[in-house]
Amino acid sequence: MSNDDSGLVAENLVVRYGGHVAVNGMTLAAPRGRITGLIGPNGAGKTTTFNACSGLLRPTSGRVRLFGQDITGWSPQHRARAGLGRTFQRMELFDSLPVSQNVALGRECRLAGAQPWRHLRGSRTDARTLSRLTGRALERCGIAHLAARRPADLSTGQRRLVELARCVAGGYDLMLLDEPSSGLDKAETERFGAILQSLVAEEGVGILIVEHDMALVARVCDYLHVLDFGEPIFEGTPAQTLASPIVRAAYLGSEAVEAAVPEEAARA
């Protein structure tokens, strides 16, 4: 674990696809020990920003730093070894493998990225460490009882927790979660949010989350950045953000924003 708590910092990111500017001048900080939200309407550039931060695409200009290091030119594998984990909007689970093995892959992939020969010849110490970290991640996410099940037999909420547990097993200090509550009902979303909060409070990890469920955002996030048509338009606490006329205009007064305001006001 790095001694630098600055976490992930993006500075003046610009991403162009041909003549289209998908992200223009995005600056954000997601320090360790905090849940930071990245919100905005569909097509605002949120996932593009995630892809630039995780190394799936190279920004046209701007910088990405991780715990003080400039990682703009690093591969996704190099970033993972440095402590940056990622989940995706579309769940990527192996339905032919039990939950425990799906979760173990989070750690295995990180180790293999640093030392590929470990896939061919792993030590007994490696196996014990992998088993311990996998079990811990399963417990952390409340799905140890599902270890022998296959993802195909689970509910959407349970599958989302398997994906989160895989990221937790990787031992990442900073996690990027792309719409993790998609497909969850209210009870599952509340449980998911509580697990995220416990990870931050007890493990000290940092989380950057893209999410459309504004009630979840208001409940778990400490700070928000708002994108609209690729442009950063606001940043602040959830209470400040949800009360902003600029943000309300971007969301066109959507019911999602309106519904989150009372909950956040009570929290504040």
Mean pLDDT of the chain: 87
pLDDT of residue 266: 44
Residue ranges, the chain, pLDDT below 70: 1-3, 109-126, 252-268
pLDDT at res. 1: 52
- In this structure, what are the phi and psi dihedrals at residue 16, rounded to the nearest 5 degrees? -115, 140
CATH class of the 1-83+173-268 domain in this structure: alpha beta
- What tens digit of pLDDT does each residue of 97-148 get? 999 999 998 887 666 555 544 554 555 556 788 888 899 999 999 999 999 9
**Domain assignments of the chain as residue spans, ordered by start:** 1-83+173-268, 93-171
Model pLDDT, residue 108: 76
What is the pLDDT, as a whole number, of residue 252?
53
pLDDT at position 19 is 85
pTM above 0.85, yes or no: yes
